[in-house]
Every structure is written in C-alpha cells, then in structure tokens.
C-alpha cells in the first residue's frame, strides 16, 4: 500500500527554520535570502502552510520584542501582535481557518 504525504515541507534553499509545527513552519527571511514572495526588510519571518504549500502569513519583530503578524486576505489584512513564534503560528492558524470559512470558502 502506498501512502501519500499530506503535508509537504517547503524547499528551503538555505533558509533557517525558526519553528516547526505539524502543519505550519516559520522560516527566517533575510535581505540576502528572501523566501517565496516574502522579502526583508519589510518582513523577518514567513509562516508556511505545509497543507497548501504556500506562505500564508508574515511576521516582523518590533523594537519592544513583540512580533507583529500579518495574514493577507482578499479585502483586508488581518494583523495581530504576539510574543512568541508558537503564538504567531496559533494566531495565524486561527485567522486562516476564519478566512477559509468566511472569505475564501
């Protein structure tokens, strides 16, 4: 019996992974090494959804040590602030599920 992998990890091409969850990975972005459509200095992190194979959110560290996360949508972006990568992933997953039900679905 052949099994199909449901989640597909990103092609990293030298990028550092800051956080690995089951479905979402947080990938560091630098000036010299953008990831997918995410480029520094506007973004420090890309939140990659392994189910769909695409970057679904971005993050930028603020001067006070908090992380501002942006989940782009068709009409408006959904932004929130958190203090850890785990919170960033959990918050992004919440907004992605909300958008999937109410805007994208």
Query: What confidence tier does 105 reach under pLDDT thresholds 50, 70, 90?
Result: low
47-77 burial by CB neighbour count: b if 16+ within 10 A, else e? bbbbeeeebbbbbbeeeeeebbbbbeeeeee
The pLDDT tens digits for 43-75 are: 999 999 999 999 999 999 999 999 999 999 877
The H or E element spanning position 71 is strand 67-71
State both tokens at 1. Answer: 């019996």
Considering the entire predicted model, what is its pTM? 0.89
Give the domain ranges of the chain. Answer: 17-104
Q: Which long-range contacts (CB under 8 A, 24 or more apart) does 3-9 make?
A: 6/51, 7/50, 7/51, 8/50, 8/53, 9/50
Residue 41 neighbours by CB distance under 10 Å: 9
Question: Is pLDDT of 91 > 80?
Answer: yes
């Amino acid at each position: 019996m052949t099994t199909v992998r449901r989640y597909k990890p990103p092609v990293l091409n030298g990028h550092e992974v800051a956080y690995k969850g089951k479905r979402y990975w947080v990938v560091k972005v630098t000036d010299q090494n953008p990831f997918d459509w995410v480029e520094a200095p506007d973004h420090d992190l890309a939140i990659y959804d392994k189910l769909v194979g695409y970057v679904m959110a971005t993050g930028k560290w603020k001067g006070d040590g908090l992380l501002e996360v942006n989940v782009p949508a068709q009409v408006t972006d959904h932004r929130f602030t958190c203090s850890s990568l785990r919170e960033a992933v959990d918050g992004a997953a919440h907004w992605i599920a909300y958008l999937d039900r109410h805007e994208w679905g």
